[in-house]
Amino acid sequence: MTTEQGTRQRAAQIEDLVRRIEGISDPAVKANATVLIQSLLDLHREGFERVTQMLREEGEPGNRLLQRLAADELTGSLLLLYDLHPDDFEVRLGKGIAEAEKAIAGQGATVDLTGVRDGVVHLRLTGKAHGCGSTQGGMEKAIQDAIFSAVPEVVAVRVENAVQSGPGEQLVQLQLAVAEPQRT
């Protein structure tokens, strides 16, 4: 198992345990478990806050290290969780759109931001796509994945599909000559 798989497995386990705690019928046990979780989160936030402050105090070398930490999937998500990420929403959204563009680069389409309202990112997929309709659905999924990865705090990502289908490749009909079986 890779480190990334282990991290995802632990995250899923934590989510499952939180759901179980929410389902506890004993109010005292449920309250104690909730206070425990919140206390751990508060302690971790305070620790991360100190680390980010120390890095900022180091000037440019510390800021470069903080940017590296923010670019890492795990530490970047923790910085987001504790609202300590060095990049603001707009910068991260811009990076997400750039990643979305990379993901669909070979498809002949582009991604344009049309707005952000009530936590929903609105994008327009434009251009002349190569391939079938399922490719367009795949492009929309790739775009949504890139945006959620960059700005996980958004509520939804809406992609308006304004892509024109390009001329598909002509299908060539093949004819097979089937020989009659020879009798011996």
For 61-120, write each residue's pLDDT tens digit: 999 999 999 988 889 889 998 999 999 999 999 999 999 999 888 877 889 999 999 999
Angle, vertex CA 112, rays to CA 120 and CA 140, nearest 5? 70
Greater pLDDT, 18 or 164: 18
Backbone angles phi, psi at 26, to 5 degrees: -75, 110
Say if pTM beats, i.e. exceeds, 0.85.
no
Q: What is the pLDDT of residues 6-53, one digit of tens each?
A: 888 998 999 999 999 999 999 999 999 999 999 999 999 999 999 999
Q: Does domain 89-165 have CATH number 1.10.3720.10?
A: no
pLDDT computed for residue 173 by the predictor: 47
Map out the domains of the chain as residue ranges: 3-81, 89-165
Question: In the chain, which ranges are continuous DSSP H helix?
Answer: 3-22, 27-57, 60-71, 73-81, 89-103, 133-150
